[in-house]
Structure formats: structure tokens, C-alpha cells
Amino acid sequence: MKTQRQVVSYALQRRRALEALRSPRVDLNAPASCDADPMLVRAALHHGEPMDHPCPVCESPRLSLLRYTFGHQLGQFSGRIRSVEELEEMENRFGEFRVYEVEVCPDCFWNHILTHYLLGDGRRRRPPRHQETVEDIYG
């Protein structure tokens, strides 16, 4: 991705969270230790890209990466999951939007933001016109 800028890494927070989970005082069955939302887990199962390393908590090979996009210029399509190929196309069509990369394990519900960054060519554009979706039709 050519226009990637303002990259923020959450590696230190991730490492701190993992160290806290491995602490003998932490109950791994407590809801706060691995608390992925069920919708996030479903998204990881159906739309996630497999990662090349296992889950840091349960060693499951099903660890997935999701890339969420947010931005005013995306209009109603803000908050959607995108692949790398889609992000490369979007770089030239939108002026600025933020991408959040999240790792999710569907087995133990581990989830953590890895990075976020801005993409886009920097030109201001109006959001696209609202397109009717299934939610609009059926409520």
C-alpha cells in the first residue's frame, strides 16, 4: 500500500496483555481475559485471513487477521472488513480513511488490535451516495 501513513503499533500493549494473562493470579476463565464479541468471532471465521503464527494464548492455528475500514469519505461503507486487494483499490478512490488490523482467535476468543493507519490519496471527497441495502428493505 503506497499511501500508508500515521502507523500506530499496539505491540507493547499486546505484550503487556499477554504477560497479564500468563500471570498466575489471572483466571483464564474470567470473562475479561479473552472477551471477543461473538460477531467479531463470526467475522474472523468467515472473512478473516489466516495468520502465519498460532494464537498466543491457546496455540490454535486458526488465528485470523481482520482489517476494518473507517472514515467519513466511505459513507455507509465505513466499518466494513476489507482485504488487502480491496484496500489497494480504495487508496486511489478515497482521500483518507483509517484501517484497523485486529487479530482474533475463534477458539479462545483472544482479540487485540495490532496496528492502525491512514490510507488514501489525501484529496477531499464527498461520501458516496447512499445505496439501498438489505437492511433498508427489510429493516
The model carries a pTM of 0.82
Average pLDDT (44-54) is: 95
Phi, psi for 65 (deg, rounded to 5): -115, 130
Pick from 4-8, 107-111, 122-126: least confident: 122-126
Q: Rounded distance, CA 71 to CA 99, Å?
A: 9
pLDDT at 31: 47
Answer whether residue 29 shows pLDDT above 80. no
**End-to-end CA gap in the chain:** 37
